[in-house]
Amino acid sequence: MVVHRDAKAGSKAREKKGRLSAKQVWAFRAFYLMLLPGVLYFIIFRYVPMYGIIIAFKDYQMLDGILKSDWAHPWYKHFETFFNSPYFGQLMVNTLLISVYKLVFGTIPPIVMALLLNECRLRWFKTAVQTLTYMPHFLSWVIIYGILIALLSQSSGLVNNWIEDAGGKAIGFMTSVDYFRAILVGSEIWKDLGWGAIIYLASMAAIDPTLYEAARVDGASRLRMIWHITLPGIRNVIVLLLILKLGHIMDAGFDQIYILYNIQVYAVADILDTWVFRTGLQQLNFSLGAAVGLFKSLIGLVLVLGSNQLSKKWGEGIW
């Protein structure tokens, strides 16, 4: 009898909690309405199209549609085609190397820029530098390609003009396998430097200012405060961005590479996405493209889950 009353009381408590949650939702209805467009966007354009994954396991024909196209035999036919391609090894190496270079060399500069701006006491100078550094983020890669050609063109580039004026020989930067990856990494760092710094600056603004005041009383220098207060204060943001970047490590930046590369640098610049575009889309082999896309997504999922579990051991993590 007592157990029955306790169960009944627990049931009532849960019902009361449910009613309270409904009241909370209604109280914050304006925020949920603002959230609704973003949720609908992801449902319509991210989750609903996922049913198209079955194309990877079918011999897809445009006229027959997804459902009426025949199933591939064996079911891993298109994956096998990709893995047995003579370009598979080169594509994987290029994709991973370019992504790792961008991850390694592109992580520190925004943090350093944010630290420098955070320590700057001249507001007008800080605002000017922020504006100048994050403006390239809004430029398309087509415009950046034009800037790179103006600077690095072998025939008329500004840099090669300086080299020739100094008595040297013009270098084909944009067509050289020795320089092309460095151009890819360097141009992306320049493009996203200011934007990344803004994210870190926002997280620095949330650090309790009393920590800095206590450190000054104890006689800590600026470098000590940066090392012991600022960097630990933004550690969670650094880990979060690293995890998100790891999830896209198989992308390597299709837009950038497709616009900048040419046939002379295929050996060091051709990645999974550019190969799929040529082989899977231009030749209308949609099943092969879907198979490679699914392969990339699974690797990205494993990397995100693994990095999140690893970061939890350091006291951080997305969930």
* 71-95 pLDDT tens trace: 998 888 999 989 998 889 999 999 9
* Residue 64 binned pLDDT confidence (cut-offs 50, 70, 90): confident
Task: Determine the pLDDT at residue 246.
Answer: 82
Helices 88-119 & 123-134 angle (0-180, nearest 10): 170
* Residue 2 binned pLDDT confidence (cut-offs 50, 70, 90): very low
Structure-block tokens of residue 163: 């080299």
Q: What is the mean pLDDT of residues 29-35?
A: 90
Q: Are strands 58-61 and 69-71 parallel, antiparallel or unpaired?
A: antiparallel
The residues spanned by each domain of the chain are 1-75, 87-312
Least confident of 1-5, 181-185, 255-259: 1-5
CATH homologous superfamily, domain 87-312: MetI-like (1.10.3720.10)
Task: Determine the pLDDT at residue 156.
Answer: 85
* Residue 252 binned pLDDT confidence (cut-offs 50, 70, 90): confident
Q: How many residues does the chain have?
A: 319
In angstroms, the CA 112 to CA 234 distance is 12
* Residue 282 binned pLDDT confidence (cut-offs 50, 70, 90): confident
Q: What is the mean pLDDT of the chain?
A: 86
- The CA–CA distances, whole Å, from 273 to 27, 120, 153, 288, 289 equal 46, 41, 26, 12, 9
